[in-house]
Amino acid sequence: MTVDLSPTMPRYYVTTPIYYVNDVPHLGHAYTTVACDALARFMRLDGRDVRFTTGTDEHGQKVAKSAAATGLEPGAFTDQVSERFRSLVEAVGAAPNDFIRTTEDRHYRSVQEIWRRLVQRDEIYTGKYEGWYSVRDEAYLAESELVRQPDGSFRAASGAPVEWVAESSYFFRLSSWQEPLLRWYAEHPDFIGPESRRNEVVRFVEGGLEDLSVSRTSFRWGIPVPDDPEHVIYVWVDALTNYLTSAGFPDEGSETYDRFWPANLHVVGKDIVRFHAVYWPAMLLAAGLAPPRRVFAHGWWTVEGQKMSKSVGNVVDPFQLVQEYGLDQVRYFLLREVPFGNDGDYSRAAMIHRANADLANDYGNLAQRVLTLIQRNCGGAIPEPGPAAAEDDGLLQAAARLGPELRPLMETQQMHAALRALWDVIRAANAYIDHAAPWALARTDMGRCQTVLSVLLEVLRRVAIFSQPFVPVGAAAILDQLAVPADRRNFSDADEALTPGTPLDPPTPVFPRLAS
Ligand code: MSP
């Protein structure tokens, strides 16, 4: 794909889906948040003007039902659960610019405005919906999409139960957007990633689109249709609009809106691609607004080989995970274990293996070894390097290439590949230290010993700078131990070498080994 790295487009707006507050956060939610946070941190460190948003999807029948089951009013219920999602953001070390709730006034205004525009442009008409609906997926389904069960009943392909709905409803003229959408996909080959999802979406749209029911009358928990409060706006229309609301819509003249819309990237799970890559761009085009630049769908996690589900009782609690294994360890595992876009399996053994092999052994040991040798052999200060040998240059250059290598990978959401590139340098540094044996040089050739350690410090510094988006806690600790000032840790500072003579504190281990 083509990658736009032009310095005239420095802003970057990335979003997570907003999470349903029908239940508490699980591993899947933590995954999208961590992935977007790593992207946002990377772009910030690279000097981009970043907006990263997340939040909670609080309306609709599913949430109303969950609230009723607890005996709480929907508003009180969503206040409670939304707070858990806010805590999750913190627990996984994410730093969004906004946490949006669909129950906020700013969002009501935004959703009602987009509705009015669709009405003005004759994109919405009244009718009656008669058909299947899955409350769990909050989706209208054609009979052809249902799966017949052994007992003769129907379910959605996701396994969710469906119910027959017959109620008066407003409709969006989605069918008339089939051709414009296909044109949009053709003219914007990067609009949907990965490629397999793109093909799936194009095939779906080529198969024909039906008008979409966009209001409900059988319950009240939602944003009312302007001038017709008997109807609440379909929860997906409400939810998708969060991306606009957070960017300042409907204040189109506002600085935020001008700066950040259209979004650069919506990261979503594979189950909600259709909403983001079909309904959403159609709605935006119909309302005269620009669609986002890209929608990327990640895969799903199973747990110890099984689908994660409440009934199986294997739902992974991300708070517990972070507490048990550590924040960096969880982030690293999620981003490294599978190529972003593929499904993955979480297991305790895999988690511990990743943390120990890659973080404790490769990265942590490298830092500890180098910094300990500095204490022992260089009087605890950054040494003055002598002339570089060929093997020094090879390693230094590999580390200096990290920026140019990582940039296109992160621009295309290949976090696993970015981590692989970082670890190639870490492993090369470990091989270099084993081969150069600075502890032996300390007895035979002090000048060469200092050069080797100085090369290693430089490589460690670059690795630490570029690993900040992924393992922010450990990377910061290493940069502290290298005495790199907190305001000199951006990618643009990467070429600024350490100053010989700077004293360094005795090291403390950064990535502990986990007990299996
Ligand atoms: N509220 C909608 C999104 C609206 S965005 C305008 C929603 N919410 S959700 O809470 O059900 O799901 C949020 C995200 O979690 C989705 O992207 C979904 O794919 C993801 N995951 C849910 N279970 C997951 C796994 N087991 N593994 C990975 N991601 C998973 O959908």
Domains located in the chain, CATH noted: 11-298 (3.40.50.620), 348-493 (1.10.730.10)
Please tell me the distance between residue 493's alpha carbon and the centre of ligand 1 in angstroms.
Answer: 37
Nearest CA to ligand 1 atom 12: 19
190 CB within 6 A, ligand 1:
no
Under the banding of pLDDT at 50, 70 and 90, the label for residue 5 is very low
Average of pLDDT values for 443-465?
Answer: 98
Using CA positions, which residue lies closest to atom 17 of ligand 1?
Answer: 269
| Distance (Å) from CA 437 to ligand 1 centroid | 49
| Four-residue CA torsion sign, 14, 494, 468, 190 | positive
Does the Cβ of 271 fall within 6 Å of ligand 1? yes
Mutate to test the pocket of ligand 1, among 24, 27, 32 (most ligand atoms within 8 A of CB): 32
Taking the C-alpha atoms of residue 53 and residue 463, their distance in angstroms, rounded to an integer, is 27
CA–centroid distance, residue 101 to ligand 1 (Å):
16
- Total number of residues shown for the chain: 516
Q: Once rounded to an integer, what is the mean pLDDT over residues 260-269?
A: 98
- What does the pLDDT average to over 422-437? 98
Give the atom of ligand 1 at the shortest distance from the alpha carbon of 243. 6
**What value does the mean pLDDT of the chain take?**
96
Q: Note the pLDDT of residue 254.
A: 87
Reply yes or no: is the peptide bond before residue 194 cis, omega within 30 of 0: yes
Residue-level pLDDT at 409: 98
- Whether 494 has a pLDDT exceeding 50, the answer reads yes
**Of all protein residues, whose CA lies closest to atom 11 belonging to ligand 1?**
20
Q: What is the H or E stretch that residue 467 is in?
A: helix 446-467
- Name which of 252-256, 274-278, 393-397, 505-509 the model is least confident about: 252-256
6-34 per-position pLDDT tens digit = 445 589 999 999 999 998 899 999 999 99
Q: What is the mean pLDDT of residues 443-471?
A: 98
406 vs 37: CA distance, rounded Å? 16
Quote the tokens at residue 147. Answer: 């799966």
Is the confidence at residue 203, as pLDDT, over 80? yes
Using a 6 Å cutoff on CB, does residue 60 contact ligand 1?
no
Does this model's pTM top 0.85? My answer is yes
In angstroms, what is the span from residue 29 Cα to ligand 1's centroid? 6
Is any ligand 1 atom within 6 A of the Cβ of residue 308? yes
Mean pLDDT in residue range 384-405 = 96
The end-to-end CA distance of the chain, in Å, is 41
Structure tokens at 140: 């209208």
Q: Residues 325, 317: contact at Cβ < 8 Å?
A: no
Q: Which atom of ligand 1 lies at the shortest distance from residue 29's CA?
A: 15
Distance 61 CA to ligand 1 centre (A): 17
301 ligand 1 Cβ < 6 A: yes
Distance in Å, CA 112 to ligand 1 centroid: 25
Of 343, 443, 463, 442, residue with least CA distance to 395:
463
Per-residue pLDDT tens digits for 359-371? 999 999 999 999 9
Structure letter (DSSP) for residue 489: -
Ligand 1: distance of its center to the CA of 297 in Å?
Answer: 11
Q: Is the CB of 296 under 6 A from ligand 1?
A: no
CA of 19 to the centre of ligand 1 (A): 7
Task: Supply the Cα-derived Rg of the chain in whole angstroms.
Answer: 26
Q: Work out the burial of residue 422: count CB atoms within 10 Å of its CB; fewer than 13 is exposed, 13-18 middle, 19 or more buried.
A: buried
Q: Is the CB of 29 under 6 A from ligand 1?
A: yes
Query: Across residues 396-411, what is the average pLDDT?
Result: 98
Say if residue 166's pLDDT is above 80: yes
Atom of ligand 1 nearest to the CA of 57: 1
Q: Is the pLDDT of residue 78 over 50?
A: yes
Type and span of the H or E element at 269: strand 265-269
For residues 466, 469, 472 and 475, what is the CA-based torsion angle, rounded to 10 degrees?
-10
Burial class (CB in 10 A: 0-12, 13-18, 19+), 167: middle
Burial 128-139 (b: 16+ CB within 10 A, else e): ebeebbbbbbbb
pLDDT at 187 > cutoff 50? yes
DSSP 451: H
Q: How far is the CA of 138 from the centre of ligand 1 (A)?
A: 12
Cβ–ligand 1 distance for 472 under 6 Å, the answer no
pLDDT at residue 473 above 50? yes
Residue 269 CB–ligand 1 contact under 6 Å: yes
